[in-house]
Amino acid sequence: MSAPTTPRTTVTEREARQVAEAAREQDWRKPSFAKELFLGRFRLDLIHPHPLPDDESVRRGEEFLAELRAFCESTIDSARIEREARIPDEVVAGLKELGALGMKIDPKYGGLGLTQLYYNKALALVGSASPAVGALLSAHQSIGVPQPLKMFGTQEQKDAFLPRCARTDISAFLLTEPDVGSDPARLATTAVPDGDTYVLDGVKLWTTNGVVADLLVVMARVPKSDGHKGGITAFVVEAASEGITVENRNAFMGLRGIENGVTRFHQVRVPAANRIGPEGAGLKIALTTLNTGRLSLPAMCAGSGKWCLKIAREWSAEREQWGKPVALHEAVGAKISFIAATTFALEAVLDLSSQMADEDRNDIRIEAALAKLYGSEMAWKMADELVQIRGGRGYETAESLKARGERGVPAEQILRDLRINRIFEGSTEIMHLLIAREAVDAHLSVAGDLIDPDKSLSDKAKAGASAGVFYAKWLPKLVAGPGQLPTSYGGFKHGVDLSGHLRYVERTARKLARSTFYAMSRWQGRMETKQGFLGRIVDIGAELFAMSAACVRAELLRARGEHGREAYQLADAFCRQARIRVEELFDRLWTNTDDLDRKVVKAVLAGSYTWLEEGVVDPSGDGPWIADATPGPSARDSARRPFGD
Catalytic residues: 425
Q: Where are the alpha helices (DSSP H) in 475-632?
A: 499-523, 531-559, 564-590, 594-605
Instruction: Decide: 426 and 175 in contact? Cβ < 8 Å.
Output: no
3-state secondary structure 59-77: HHHHHHHHHHHHHHHHHCC
All residues at 6 or more sequence positions from 273 whose CB lies less than 8 Å from its CB, including other chains: 156, 157, 196
Which letter does DSSP use for residue 2 in this model?
P
485 φ, ψ to 5°?
-100, 120
- Report the first-to-last Cα separation within the chain, whole angstroms: 40
Sign of the C-alpha dihedral computed for residues 580, 582, 587 and 592 taken in this order:
positive
Q: How far apart are CA 464 and CA 472, in angstroms?
A: 12
Instruction: Decide: 87 and 133 in contact? Cβ < 8 Å.
Output: yes
Instruction: Decide: 209 and 170 in contact? Cβ < 8 Å.
Output: yes
Q: What angle do CA 368, 370, 372 make, to 5 degrees?
A: 70
3-state secondary structure of 282: helix
All residues at 6 or more sequence positions from 158 whose CB lies less than 8 Å from its CB, including other chains: 109, 149, 150
Instruction: Decide: 478 and 513 in contact? Cβ < 8 Å.
Output: yes
Q: How many CB atoms lie within 10 A of CB 563?
A: 13
Q: How many CB atoms lie within 10 A of CB 470?
A: 15
Q: How many CB atoms lie within 10 A of CB 553?
A: 24
All residues at 6 or more sequence positions from 263 whose CB lies less than 8 Å from its CB, including other chains: 174, 203, 204, 207, 210, 216, 244, 245, 246, 247
Which letter does DSSP use for residue 421 in this model?
G
Instruction: Decide: 144 and 173 in contact? Cβ < 8 Å.
Output: yes
3-state secondary structure of 345: helix
Q: How far apart are CA 183 and CA 232, in angstroms?
A: 12
Q: How far apart are CA 197 and CA 599, in angstroms?
A: 51
Cross-strand partners of 234: 219, 276
